[in-house]
C-alpha cells in the first residue's frame, strides 16, 4: 500500500533530508514539502533544486498542519527541535527521523513531549556518502539500502506501518529493532570504523614526516580513511549521542588490538596468523564488495 501525505515538514535539508524529499516527490508520496533549516541560503538552494516546495522561518511554522514530520538534523539538534514543535503537532501527526543513534532521540522526545507521541517512529537509513549538503542529494540514495526503524513502546501500529511503507516506496528494505540494539549494532559497524579512521589520519598527520607519509599512502589507506572525510560535526555529535555503545565496542577493539600488538612483539607467528586468517574468513564470508 502506497502511503500519501498532504503536507510533509522536512526539518533539515542536507544530503539525507534532501534525498528523502526527492524520493517522496519522485514516487508521488506527497503533495507539498515544506522545509526548515538554520540557513536560509540552504533553503533557497533546496527550493531552487526542486527538493522542497517552500520553507518556513521557524520549526513551529514548518510543522503546522503537516501530516508527516521528518527530522533530518544533527544529533545535537533533536532536543531543541522537539521542544519547538511540541505545541504544534496534532495527535495523529506522524514523526520520524534519520538520526544515527536512536536511544538518544527517544530520550530527547521524552523530555520535550513529556510522553512519547504515538505517531513517533524513530528511524535510521543506513545510507550516505562522505559528501554533505542538499547539492549532494539524489532520489536514489535509499534504493536497496537498509532502513532500521526503532518503534517506541508508544508507537502505534498504524504509524509504524506508514513510515515503513514510505521507506519501502523509496526503495529501501525496512528492518525493525529496539533502539538499544540499533545503537550497539551501529556502534560496531559504523561509528567505531569512523573513530578508527579519524584516529589513523590524526596519527599520521601528527608524525614528523606527515606530508611525505601521505604521499606513499596507496589504495588500502585511501579506502580505509575515506570515511575520515566525513563531516566532523556530525561525527562528533554521534560520538556524544551514542557514547556508551561506542565506548563499549571501542574498548573491545583496543583489547583485540593489544593482543595483536603483543603477538607481533613476541614474534608469535601462530597467533598473528590465527587472527589474520580468522579476520579474512569473517570478512570474505560476510561482506560482499
Site for a copy of itself in 92-131 (CB under 8 A): 126-129
- Can residue 204 be called a binding residue for a copy of itself (CB under 8 A)? yes
With CB under 8 A, what is the number of residues at the site for a copy of itself? 89
CA–CA gap between residue 26 and residue 2 (Å, rounded): 13
- Can residue 48 be called a binding residue for a copy of itself (CB under 8 A)? no
Binding to a copy of itself (CB under 8 A): which residues in 144-173? 145-146, 148
CA–CA gap between residue 136 and residue 155 (Å, rounded): 32
Least CB distance from residue 74 to a copy of itself, whole Å? Answer: 12
- Can residue 26 be called a binding residue for a copy of itself (CB under 8 A)? no
Binding to a copy of itself (CB under 8 A): which residues in 181-200? 184-186, 188-190, 192-200
CA–CA gap between residue 244 and residue 225 (Å, rounded): 24
CA–CA gap between residue 271 and residue 266 (Å, rounded): 10
3-state secondary structure 186-203: HHHHHHHHHHHHHHHHHH
CA–CA gap between residue 101 and residue 122 (Å, rounded): 10
Least CB distance from residue 271 to a copy of itself, whole Å? Answer: 9
Binding to a copy of itself (CB under 8 A): which residues in 215-274? 215-230, 232-233, 235-236, 239-240, 243, 246-247, 249-254, 256-258, 260-261, 264-265, 267, 269, 272-273
The DSSP bridge partners found for residue 94 are 68
Amino acid at each position: 500500500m502506497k502511503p500519501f501525505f498532504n503536507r510533509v515538514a522536512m526539518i533539515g535539508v542536507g544530503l539525507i533530508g534532501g534525498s528523502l524529499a526527492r524520493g517522496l516527490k519522485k514516487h508521488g508520496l506527497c503533495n507539498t514539502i515544506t522545509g526548515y533549516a538554520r540557513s536560509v541560503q540552504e533553503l533557497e538552494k533546496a527550493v531552487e533544486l526542486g527538493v522542497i516546495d517552500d520553507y518556513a522561518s521557524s520549526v513551529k511554522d514548518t510543522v503546522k498542519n503537516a501530516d508527516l514530520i521528518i527530522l533530518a538534523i544533527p544529533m545535537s539538534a533533536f532536543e531543541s527541535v522537539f521542544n519547538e514543535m511540541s505545541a504544534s503537532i496534532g495527535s495523529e501527526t506522524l514523526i520520524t527521523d534519520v538520526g544515527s543513534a536512536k536511544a538518544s532521540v527517544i530520550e530527547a522526545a521524552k523530555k520535550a513531549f513529556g510522553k512519547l507521541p504515538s505517531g513517533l517512529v524513530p528511524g535510521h537509513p543506513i545510507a550516505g556518502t562522505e559528501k554533505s549538503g542538499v547539492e549532494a542529494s539524489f532520489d536514489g540514495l535509499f534504493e536497496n539500502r537498509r532502513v532500521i526503524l526503532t518503534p517506541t513502546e508508544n508507537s502505534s501500529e498504524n504509524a509504524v506501518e506508514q513510515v515503513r511503507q514510505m521507506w519501502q516506496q523509496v526503495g529501501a528494505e525496512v528492518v525493525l529493532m529496539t533502539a538499544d540494539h540499533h545503537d550497539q549494532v551501529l556502534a560496531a559497524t559504523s561509528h567505531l570504523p569512523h573513530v578508527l579512521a579519524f584516529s589513523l589520519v590524526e596519527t599520521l598527520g601528527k608524525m614528523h614526516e606527515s606530508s611525505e607519509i601521505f604521499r606513499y599512502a596507496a589504495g588500502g589507506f585511501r579506502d580505509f580513511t575515506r570515511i575520515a572525510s566525513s563531516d566532523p560535526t556530525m561525527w562528533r555529535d554521534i560520538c556524544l549521542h551514542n557514547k556508551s555503545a561506542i565506548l563499549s565496542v571501542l574498548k573491545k577493539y583496543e583489547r583485540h588490538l593489544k593482543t595483536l600488538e603483543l603477538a607481533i612483539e613476541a614474534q608469535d607467528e601462530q597467533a598473528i596468523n590465527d587472527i589474520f586468517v580468522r579476520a579474512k574468513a569473517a570478512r570474505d564470508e560476510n561482506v560482499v564488495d
